[in-house]
Chains A and B, each alone.
Chain A
Amino acid sequence: MNGKRSFLQCAAAAPHIVWSVLFIIAPLIFVVYYSFTDSEGNFTLDNIKSIFNEKYIVIFLNSLTLAVIATFICLIIAYPLAYIFSRMRERWQKVFILLTILPLWMNFLITTYSWMTLLEDTGVINTILRKIGLHPIHMINTPGAVVVGMVFCFLPYMILPIYSVMAGLDEQLIEAAADLGCNSFKILTKVIMPLSVSGVISGITMVFVPSISTFFISQKLGGGTFRLIGDTIEGYFTGTSINYNVGASLSLILMIIILISMAIMNRYTDTEDTKGRPML
C-alpha cells in the first residue's frame, strides 16, 4: 500500500522532473560546457578571460545601470499603487488588480512595437506635440526609451507581490498602530513599510532579473545605438558572428551577477527580521 502510494507520488512528480531536467538542468549544463571549451571542444579558460575586457565591462555596466533605474522607477510607481489598491473596497481591488494584470496578457513584442510607434520621431507623441505647436522630442533609440519599455513591461511584476503582502496585512495591526499614536503617515512608515519588505524584495527580484537580461526591448527601443548584455548574448547565438562559447560565458557571468544580487538582497531581508527596523 505504502509502496504503491509512493509510486503514485513519483508518477505525479515525473512530468515536473522530466521538464526540469530537459529545460532547466540540461541547458545549464550546456552553458557551463560551452563556457569552458573552445570551438573544438577542448577545455579552455579563454572565453571567461576574454569577457574581462573593457568592451564587455561597459556593456555589463550599461545593463546593470538601466536595470537598476527601471527597477527603482517600478518600485516608486508600484509601492503607492499597491498601497492604494490594498486599501480599496474588495470589489474595486479586484478591478484594479485585473487592470494591472491585463498588459501581461499581451505579448511583449506587441507592447514593445506599440511603444515604438508612440516614441518615434514621427510617432504618435511627437505628432501631437507638433500639432499643438511644441517642439518634438527625440525619444526613440535612447536609454530613456529602453527604461520606459522595461518599466511598462515589468511593472505588474512589482505591483502584484507588494499588493499581495499589503492586502494580507492584519487590519488590527493598523488599528493597533493608530491606537498607539500613529497618524496615517507613521502607520505607513512604522508598520506597513516594514511589514511589506518581503513583497518589495520579491518585486525587485522579479523586475530586476528580466530587466538586466532583456534584449528585445533594448533592440527595438534602443535601436542598436548601444548594446546591453542581453543583445550581446543574443548576437553570439543568432547573429552574424555566432560564437556559442563566448555567448555561454557571458550568460554564465550574467547568471552569477544575478545570483549575487539576489543573495545580497535576501541577506538584507534576513537582518531586517531580526533587527526590526524599517527598510525604506
Chain B
Amino acid sequence: MNGKKIIELRGITKSFDGELVLDNIDLDIYDNEFITLLGPSGCGKTTTLRIIAGFETPDAGDVFFDGKRINDVPPYKRHVNTVFQKYALFPHLNVYENIAFGLRIAKVPEREISARVKEMLALVNLRGFERRSVTTLSGGQQQRVAIARALINNPRVLLLDEPLGALDLKLRKDMQNELKNMQHKTGITFIYVTHDQEEALSMSDTVVVMNAGKIMQIGTPIDIYNEPMNAYVADFIGESNIIDGLMIADRCVAFAGHRFECVDTGFAPNESVDVVIRPEDVDVVPVERGMLTGHVTTVTFKGVHYEVIVDIAGFKWMIQTTDYVAPDAEIGIYIEPEAIHVMKKSEYSGMFGDYSSYSVELDLLSENIEEDEDSDDEEVTYKLKEEGL
C-alpha cells in the first residue's frame, strides 16, 4: 500500500441487545486504497462501516482518523461520506439539489456548486438529469446520484454499503467497473461492504473477510484466493475441496492415501492440516497416469466448463474441467504442487469443502437466494452446506 494509514480500528467491540456483533476488531485502512469488507449477512461488516461513519459508537475500542481518535466526533464533522444501501436520496429534492446538498450545507458559493455538480453528473454519466425528480429514476440512476452526492464533498474516505445489492446482474457488472474507475480517478479511499465474493475479488486492492464479528483474513484478492487462512475463507471465496491431510515434512503432504509434493513449508513434522485444492486446479487424466483415481458421480455443464463431482476414496471432490467426462466413468486426477494449498487446522476444519452433499438443485437454489440477497435465507443455505444436506 501507499503506507499512510488513514483509518485505524483498535479493539472495536459492539453488541446490540446483548448480541455480540463485532468482537475485538483491529483494522488498518490506507490512503487511496479500495478495501472491501466481505462476509455473509450478520458478520458485522455493515456495523464496522457505520462505526467509521459515526452512526454507531463502539462499546469498546477506538477509531482513529489520521491518527486522531474520533470516537466522539459526530457524523457531520467526519471527513467521510456514505453511499447507502437503499440510496437514501431526498425525495423532496431533484437530482441537482440532491447532489448539491452537501455543498449547500457547507455554504459553498452558488457558482462553484453549479460547476461541481456538473462535473459530478459527468463523472456518473447523468448529464442532463439535473431537473429530474429522483423518484422517477431507475435503480441504477438513483445509485449514481447517491454516489455523486457523496463524492461531491471530496471526502477523504467514501463508505459504500452494498451499493449494488439492489441492481440486476448486468448493471451490477457495469457499475463495478465504473466504481473502480471512479476510485482510480478521484484517488479517494473506498471502503466497500459486500457479501458477493466475486465483486470483492474483482474490485478491491484489499479484501477483509469477516465472519461472526471477527476478521478472518486481510489480504489482496490473489492472496485471499490462493492462500486462504482457514477452511472458512477457502469455502467462502470460491469453490474449494478441503481435505484432511498430514504434513509429512516441508514440501510434502499426504492426503487421500497418497503423498504429494507441495510448496508449503513451516509446519511441524506430521502436523495434521487442511488441504485446499481449487476445482479448476485439478487435471483430469487417464486412470493409469492419475495420482489418484475416482468415480464420477455427476457431471453438470456450466458453459465455460463442466462441473464434475468425483468420489475419491469416499470423499467427494468438485473438479472443473473443459473436457467432457462421462458419468460413472473411472478417471485419474493429477495435481500440480502449486495447486496444493496447506492450511493450519482451525475451528472451521471439517465444516466446509466437502461436496458429498452436492446436488445441482441445491446449487441453483442457493444461487437464486443469493440473487435475492435476503439475509436470512442466505444463512440457511450456508447451514445446509455445513450440515451436508
Question: CB within 8 Å of B: which residues of A?
Answer: 170, 172-173, 175-183, 186, 190-191, 194-195, 272-274, 276
Contact = CB atoms under 8 A, between A and B. Distances in A.
B76 A178 contact: yes
Contacts of A178: 54-55, 74-76
Contacts, number: 66
The secondary-structure label for the interface of chain A is: helix
Given A176-B84, A191-B90, A276-B94, A186 B105 contact: yes
Given A183-B76, A195-B91, A276-B92, A176 B82 contact: yes
A176 B88 contact: yes
7 contacts: A173-B88, A179-B75, A180-B101, A182-B105, A183-B74, A195-B90, A276-B93
A176 B84 CA distance: 8
A274 B136 CA distance: 13
A137 B102 CA distance: 52
Contacts of B105: 180-182, 186, 190
A170 B90 CA distance: 10
A180 B102 contact: yes
A276 B84 contact: no
Nearest to A197: B92
B86 A175 contact: no
A195 B102 contact: no
B97 interface: yes
Nearest to B53: A179
Nearest to A180: B102
B148 to A, nearest CB: 12
A179 B76 contact: yes
Contacts of B94: 276
Greatest chain A CB density within 10 A among B82, B84, B92 is at B92
Contacts of B74: 178, 183
A45 to B, nearest CB: 46
Given A172-B86, A175-B55, A180-B81, A194 B92 contact: yes
A178 B74 CA distance: 8
B92 A179 contact: no
Contacts of A190: 101, 105
Contacts of B300: none
A103 to B, nearest CB: 32
A106 B114 CA distance: 56
Contact of A175 (B75, B97, B133): B75
B177 to A, nearest CB: 25
A182 B88 contact: no
Nearest to A194: B92
A184 B372 CA distance: 35
A186 to B, nearest CB: 6
Contacts of B101: 177, 180, 190
A175 B93 contact: no
Interface in B104-119: 105-106
B153 interface: yes
B81 A179 contact: yes
Contacts of B90: 173, 176-177, 191, 195
B149 interface: yes
- Closest 7 pairs (CB-CB, A-B): A172-B88, A180-B102, A176-B88, A181-B105, A178-B75, A276-B93, A194-B92
A180 B86 contact: no
Given A173-B88, A186-B105, A190-B105, A179 B93 contact: no
A171 B174 CA distance: 29
Contacts of B93: 276
A273 B92 contact: yes
A181 B106 contact: yes
A172 B92 contact: no
Nearest to A193: B92
Given A170-B86, A180-B76, A180-B81, 12 more contacts: A172-B84, A175-B53, A176-B88, A176-B90, A177-B90, A177-B101, A178-B74, A179-B53, A179-B76, A179-B150, A190-B105, A194-B92
Contact of B97 (A181, A186, A195, A276): A276
Nearest to A175: B55
A276 B81 CA distance: 23
Interface in B58-102: 74-76, 80-82, 84-86, 88-94, 97, 101-102
Contacts of B91: 195
Contacts of B84: 172, 175-176
Contacts of B53: 175, 179
A175 B49 CA distance: 13
Interface in B286-315: none
A194 to B, nearest CB: 5
Contacts of B80: 179
Contacts of A273: 92
Given A172-B86, A176-B82, A190-B105, A182 B76 contact: yes
B88 A181 contact: no
Contacts of B150: 179-180
A146 B80 CA distance: 53
B7 to A, nearest CB: 16
- Find the residue from A181, A191, A273, A276 having the highest chain B CB count within 10 A: A181
B25 to A, nearest CB: 21
A276 B104 CA distance: 14
B242 to A, nearest CB: 39
A181 B102 contact: yes
A181 to B, nearest CB: 4
Nearest to B85: A172
Given A181-B105, A181-B106, A195 B92 contact: yes
Contacts of A276: 92-94, 97
A170 B101 CA distance: 17
Contacts of A194: 92
Contacts of A170: 86, 88
B17 to A, nearest CB: 13
A258 B86 CA distance: 41
B48 to A, nearest CB: 16
A132 to B, nearest CB: 45
A186 B93 CA distance: 15
